[in-house]
Amino acid sequence: MSSSDASTFATPARLRLAAATRHLVDAVLTTEDATDRALDDAADATERTVADLRGRAVDAGARPGGERSRHERRQEDYLPRSPLVGSVNPVAPPLAYEFHDDHVIAHGCFGAAYEGPPGYVHGGWVALAFDEALGMANAISGHPGMTARLTVRYRKPTPLGTELHLHARTARIDGRRITTAATLRAGDTVTAEAEGLFVVIGAERALEYFGERSSTPEPADPLP
């Protein structure tokens, strides 16, 4: 997939489908008074929709078997699919992002799909949000790298359905090592803090990890 292909992949229709799917997931988890008939009808409709998209019948009990070509070259090629910031990934929470010279601010709510303890965000999603935001902060400061270590301090449970603010910034550069810090707040309450160690890898290590690529990755905006 070229960068132009990536931009045409995130079409308005695909964005609309991703948003509708988020609402479907939320309805599955929160609509407690639905009848079995209504649930079965919804399942039938969903299976028909998937079959229409796939071009073949779908066995709902089977493992999802979708495949795609892997030709990403730059950040804007793969970020639309990200499980946290992906505009066409129905799994991604609908957060809004602000980008500054050396830091990133994200704000929005986590819904029922991200629940861990009743009424609160699962700690794994908090860690994922930190990892992605720290990486984006490094990218916009001109120091992209791979996560080597992520330390999260969970200070209080992070509530669902509440406006949250995540602030991530590049704190220190030491050769190939990049230290980045972040906080997550619900109102004035800090619910979690994180520190990440990122490492810039060379071409040989990138080849070892990711295989042959026909072009050298170019700098890109954190979000397409």
Q: Tell me, what's the pLDDT at 222?
A: 44
Which has the higher per-residue pLDDT, 69 or 159? 159
Burial of 69 (0-12, 13-18, 19+ CB in 10 A): exposed
Which domains, and CATH codes, for the chain?
75-210 (3.10.129.10)
- Tokens 């910031």 sit at which residue? 85
Nearest-angstrom CA–CA distance, 35 and 218: 52
Q: Is the pLDDT of residue 1 over 60?
A: no
Band (186; pLDDT cuts 50, 70, 90)? very high
Q: Is the pLDDT of residue 156 over 80?
A: yes
Q: Is the pLDDT of residue 219 over 50?
A: no
Longest dimension (CA), the chain: 61
DSSP 8-state code for residue 64: P
Strands 96-99 vs 164-174: parallel, antiparallel or unpaired: unpaired
To the nearest whole percent, how much of the chain has pLDDT over 70?
A: 78
Mind listing the pLDDT tens digit for each residue in 7-16? 578 899 999 9
Q: Tell me, what's the pLDDT at 59?
A: 73
The partner residues of 98 in beta bridges, in order of sequence, read: 105
Residue 154 · residue 126 · CB < 8 Å:
yes
Q: Is the pLDDT of residue 216 over 60?
A: no
**Per-residue DSSP letters for 121-187?**
B-HHHHHHHHHHHHHHHHHHTT---EEEEEEEEE-SPPBTTS-EEEEEEEEEEETTEEEEEEEEEET
Cβ contacts of 168 within 8 Å, gap of 6 or more: 103, 104, 105, 106, 130, 133, 134, 136, 137, 180, 181, 182, 194
Nearest-angstrom CA–CA distance, 15 and 25: 16
